[in-house]
Structure 1
Amino acid sequence: MNIKYLTLPLIAATLVFTGCASRKPAAEITTGNTPNGSTTVSTEGLSEDAALNAQNLAGASSKGVTAANKAFLAKRVVHFDYDSSDLSNEDYQTLQAHAQFLVANANSKVALTGHTDERGTREYNMALGERRAKAVESFLITNGVNPQQLEAVSYGKEAPVNTGHNEAAWKENRRVEINYEAVPPLLK
């Protein structure tokens, strides 16, 4: 038997076992309270991403959350008409609630991701997705949000939520998602 046919599986097995042996076991997320009443999170043993997510969830804020705007803050998607970056009247209350929360929570950060349906070229859709994200960003800034809290990004047609090829699917995909990256609203 030829030695090169034995070497490749041996190297692959060594890499797999070495990688598994160096992984940390799953860590438990524990929380506690400080004397001033704020919540602390132990992220010992967590990966960097998992630690950031645990801190963000523990750092959720109820400041700026009212009974009146709670339902609007729960909505994290704004939809658009075909080939448009104009905000609809239905979305103003949602965006106003997010603006109010962001103004009250200066440590909150949001990524505004613009999306389009599958029709049109990749380049056109990337530009349209950016116009949509910038329209939401502009509304939030006009309503008092610090621009440093916002990041507008376009995914164009690359990340559909509905992979159908009809008007209902396209309508769902024409959107901007409001993704809290730090200090999301506490909606309990």
Structure 2
Amino acid sequence: MKRSVQLLLALTAALTLAACSTTKPEEEQVDTSAQDAAAQAEAEALARQRAAEEAERQRIAALLENNVVYFDFDDDSIRSEYVELLEAHAKYIQSSGKSVVLEGHADERGTPEYNLALGERRAKSVAQLMRTYGVSDSSIEVISFGEEAPANPAHNEEAWQENRRVEIKYQ
């Protein structure tokens, strides 16, 4: 009898120790692996999202560094290559609360009066596009210098191209 009680106590102790064991059943180990994989996938997705956001910030910053829009000869229409640039500037104006001066310029060909009017039309074209992106009239000032403030004083096609422009200046 004593022997069976001792055997029973030993068996109970062994079962108690087994129940308190730190090894997890196989099902729980699989769940942990699945949780680890899900956490890793979530971390990777978050890292990709942050990288994409940073790339977008850098793209916008690069656009905002350019503050000149060039035009074709005797033309005041905005080239398609500048639409994204002007959209970025418009969003910046709205978010910063700053105002902008749009300075229109022309090359030396044509009369001074004609070039003054052409510079104004170019600046107004830029202003109109900015308004379509939500910039208020009170945030935009339009000035024309005509041919009076050339970016390049030479008298050739390359210089004339540089002079047919609108400069975006923040206040």
Normalised to the residue count of structure 1, the TM-score between the two structures is: 0.60
Aligned residue for 2:49? none
Q: Compute the RMSD of aligned alpha carbons.
A: 1.1
Q: 1:75: Cα distance to partner?
A: 0.2
Q: Percent of pairs identical after alignment?
A: 48
Alignment of 1:1-188 (within 5 A): 66-106=57-97, 108-181=98-171
Q: Structure 1 stretches of 5 or more lacking a match?
A: 1-64, 182-188
Q: Which has the higher helix share?
A: 2
Q: Which has the higher strand share?
A: 1
Q: Structure 2 stretches of 5 or more lacking a match?
A: 1-55
Q: Distance in 1 between matches of 2:130 and 2:59?
A: 19
Q: Deviations over 1:93-133 (max 9, x none)?
A: 11010011111122x01100000000000000000000000
Match of 1:83, SS state, is: coil
Aligned length: 116
Q: Distance in 1 between matches of 2:59 and 2:159?
A: 31
Normalised to the residue count of structure 2, the TM-score between the two structures is: 0.66
Q: Given residue 68 of structure 1, which amino acid in structure 2 is its aligned partner? A: R
Match of 1:113, SS state, is: strand
Which consecutive segments of 4 or more residues in structure 1 shift more than 2 A?
65-68
Higher-Rg structure is: 2
Match of 1:154, SS state, is: strand
